[in-house]
A = this chain, B = another copy of it.
Amino acid sequence: MSLQHILLGIIAEPKSGYDIKQEFDSSLKHFWFAELSQIYPALKKLVADDLARVEGVPSDKGPDKKLYSRTDAGTQALIDWLHTGPATSPVRHGFLGQVFFMGTQKDREAALKFFKELKAHYQARYAALQAVEAGWKAQCPTYPDGLGDDDFFMQMTLDAGLRFQRSYMDWCTNSIDRIKSRYHD
């Protein structure tokens, strides 16, 4: 049920489905993502529920853009969501399932390779978030606490992303060391 609410958050300024997809793929992807085929019907439903309105405007390229913006009822629905308490649905980590059963296979080199790949994956994500942070720093010399009220909370999610990736990387590093000292020394 969260996609509807996140879309409400995004359309504080008028945006098209295509615009929203690009935001997911750039700045929002560390905590949410969605395919266009999911975004378009979701936006339609917001309009049907009177939480958003549409306006068609001609585009430079391609067909008309449909710009969605939230209604007062939409803003209220968003605020209500913020008051329902933290949305902490349990998470499925496939890679932890793999580690849990890693002992089934006796090839310790494969285990090392697994953790090295995982570490590389999180390093890449970490670097991407650092690049986003560098952009913010360049725009605001008093980053992070000199940010405006809206940006202050948005930066907190970036901070969370950076912390979580570091935590994954640290676990990988430590696991690699433990496997090495158990089987190679």
Contact = CB atoms under 8 A, between A and B. Distances in A.
Interface stretch (A46-54, A60-68, A167-175): A167-175
A87 B87 CA distance: 24
Contacts of A88: 94-95, 118, 121
B98 A87 contact: yes
Interface string A135-146: 000000000010
Contact of A91 (B86, B91, B150): B91
Contacts of A95: 86-88
Interface residues of A, number: 67
Interface of chain A: mostly helix, strand, loop or mixed? helix
Q: How many copies of this chain sit in the oligomeric assembly? A: 2
B31 A92 contact: yes
Given A2-B94, A33-B90, A103-B154, 13 more contacts: A28-B100, A31-B91, A31-B96, A33-B92, A79-B105, A86-B121, A96-B157, A99-B153, A99-B157, A103-B150, A103-B151, A111-B153, A152-B182
Interface of A: 2, 5-6, 9, 12, 28-33, 75, 78-79, 81-83, 85-105, 110-111, 114, 117-118, 121, 145, 149-154, 156-157, 159-161, 163-164, 166-168, 170-171, 174-175, 178, 182
